[in-house]
Amino acid sequence: MMRRMKRAVFLDRDGVLNRTYVHEDGKTHPPASSEEMEVLPGVSEACQALREAGFLLIVVSNQPDVARGTQSRTVVEAINAKLRRHITVDEIRVCYHDSQDQCACRKPKPGLLLEAAGAWGIDIIGSFIIGDRATDIEAGQKAGCKAVLINAAPREAKRCRPDFQAASLSEAVEWILSAHRPAIQVSQ
């Protein structure tokens, strides 16, 4: 029996779909609450364009503040629920571990992407990841998909070799849709 393989765009959450915040330590942090969560301009339209082109949209997000005890899983889930009210995604997968946990799902490891690919029947080679950090790009490349770096600080851009670098999600989506139109793919 022939079945059609699906293609996906894996999306990092913070800094790609929603605004991040710079704290006193000079580092970017996710929103602290669902009230603070703000979808970035153009995100809804960009995601809709990908859906109309036939891509699954899977959010893959590291949320180590839960393991560190500075954020609760309940708040992360509330932020994700609010995000889903603004954009349509097929699934949100979250790694709640910290680096020292050495789990397979924490980016730059490809576990979140590979698990989603298995669950959804995704053609990983024909899929993409869009992220704002080198760890996102590395996870995508380890999984076997094309990687797009957006909104990246210069130090992040130097740490990786994305297939494309864009200033925004809209620009990344434009590149995906113009250069990589989904084709019908069949597998046995």
Residues with active-site annotation: 12, 14
Pairing relationship of beta strands 186-187 and 28-29 according to DSSP bridges: unpaired
Show the beta-strand stretches assigned E in 63-127: 91-95
**Cβ neighbours of residue 65 closer than 8 Å, sequence gap 6 or more:** 29, 30, 71
List, as one string, the DSSP characters of 5-61: PB-EEEE-SBTTTB--EE-TTS-EE--SSTTT--BPTTHHHHHHHHHHTT-EEEEEE
